[in-house]
């Protein structure tokens, strides 16, 4: 449903939400250890997110990745869409091509409801929602 890459990306963005803003950009070098994602791979993912405007970045000295005010209003689905593509996330549980609510497959009724909720959560939860009230970084990335 969610690839590891998407999970990595979400972790990365959460880190940025907690540790960055326009004036405090962070380098991949300084975050990959905390979120437990390989440095080069995390860089790739963040670059992809930046390219699609989901997060922000600047190059050169004092550069790095960060979240603008606007970025924080992004939903989790915005991240997943860039990394996995919408199709993959929303695909039928049984992977049947034209399965939807009109022509549901067997499992659709059983599991589909849960899946829909899952997707709604991804769509309706912003980065801001996720971190509110949280300050302890470690709490987010136990391993």
Residues that bind a second copy (CB under 8 A): 1-2, 4, 7, 10-11, 14, 36, 76, 93-99, 103, 105-107, 110-111, 114-115, 117-118, 121-122, 125, 130-131, 134, 139-143
Helix runs in the chain, H state only: 4-19, 28-35, 39-51, 76-84, 86-90, 106-124, 127-131, 137-140
Biggest distance spanned by C-alpha atoms of the chain: 56
Stretch that binds DNA, among 11-19, 58-66, 100-108, 133-141 (CB under 7 A): 58-66
Which region, judged by CB under 7 A, interacts with DNA, from 50-58, 70-78, 98-106, 110-118? Answer: 50-58
| 8 binds DNA per the rule CB under 7 A | yes
Rounded distance between C-alpha atoms, residue 4 and residue 117, angstroms: 20
């Amino acid at each position: 449903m969610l690839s590891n890459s998407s999970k990595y990306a979400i972790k990365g963005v959460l880190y940025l939400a907690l540790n960055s803003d326009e004036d405090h950009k962070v380098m991949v070098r300084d975050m990959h250890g905390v979120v437990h994602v390989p440095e080069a791979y995390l860089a790739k993912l963040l670059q992809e997110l930046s390219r699609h405007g989901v997060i922000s970045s600047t190059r050169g000295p004092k550069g790095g990745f960060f979240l603008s005010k606007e970025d924080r209003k992004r939903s989790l689905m915005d991240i997943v869409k860039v990394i996995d593509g919408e199709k993959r996330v929303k695909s039928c549980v049984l992977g049947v091509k034209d399965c939807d609510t009109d022509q549901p497959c067997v499992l659709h009724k059983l599991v589909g409801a849960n899946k829909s909720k899952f997707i709604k959560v991804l769509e309706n939860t912003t980065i801001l929602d996720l971190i509110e009230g949280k300050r302890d970084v470690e709490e987010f990335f136990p391993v």
